[in-house]
Amino acid sequence: MVYPCQSPCYPDPRRSLAADADVVVAFSQGGTMLAIYMDEMRKALRPVQWRLGVFFCGAMIDDEDFQLLDKLPLPALYIHGGDTDPWGRHGEKMLPKMYTELEMLEHSDGHSFPSAQPRAGEIYQRVICRMRHATKTLAGCQRNGSASA
């Protein structure tokens, strides 16, 4: 069987990508490719093996040929650079249509990983807590996934 997205740089959805991973992290178009991959896995009746997606900037699917018919059943964290990120507001509109459980965080460092303190530290602490929650290693996090004092 040939899948429309299959190529040397696009994995076969019949095989599990990151089967041993609990969390996947992607930046910009990497998040877009990951969403398309997860949808191809769903079409091939393959469950997603990881428990959380962390997407920095971008990650939305704009190509009409690859629009999702249903939301992806994966807890996701979307972190964007606010008004200085050319794709940030677009992601705020699009990603809630793509994921059943989505949390959004914003920083002011543009289309990049957050770096300006104190906001960057707050965001990374939240990412760590969400990862710990997804992997059931909750040391340093409150029950709701936020950082403990």
Condensed to tens digits (0 to 9), the pLDDT of residues 65-99 reads 899 999 998 899 999 999 999 999 999 999 999 99
Number of domains in the chain: 1
DSSP one-letter code for 16: P
Which domain covers residue 59, as residue numbers? 23-64+71-114
Q: Which residues contact 106 (CB under 8 A, 6 or more apart)?
A: 79, 80, 81, 82, 88
The whole-number pLDDT of residue 57 equals 95
Contact criterion met (CB below 8 Å) for 91 and 80: yes
Quickly state the pLDDT bin for 147 (edges 50, 70, 90).
Answer: low
| Residue where the block lists tokens 């991973």 | 21
Strand partners, 10: 7
Residue 122 covered by a domain: no
120 token code pair: 């960057």
Residue 15 covered by a domain: no
Query: In 3-state terms, the chain is what percent helix, strand and coil (to 5)?
Result: 30, 25, 45
Residue 44 covered by a domain: yes
Residue 49 covered by a domain: yes
pLDDT digits (tens, 9 = 90+) for 99-143: 999 999 999 999 999 999 999 999 999 999 999 999 887 666 765
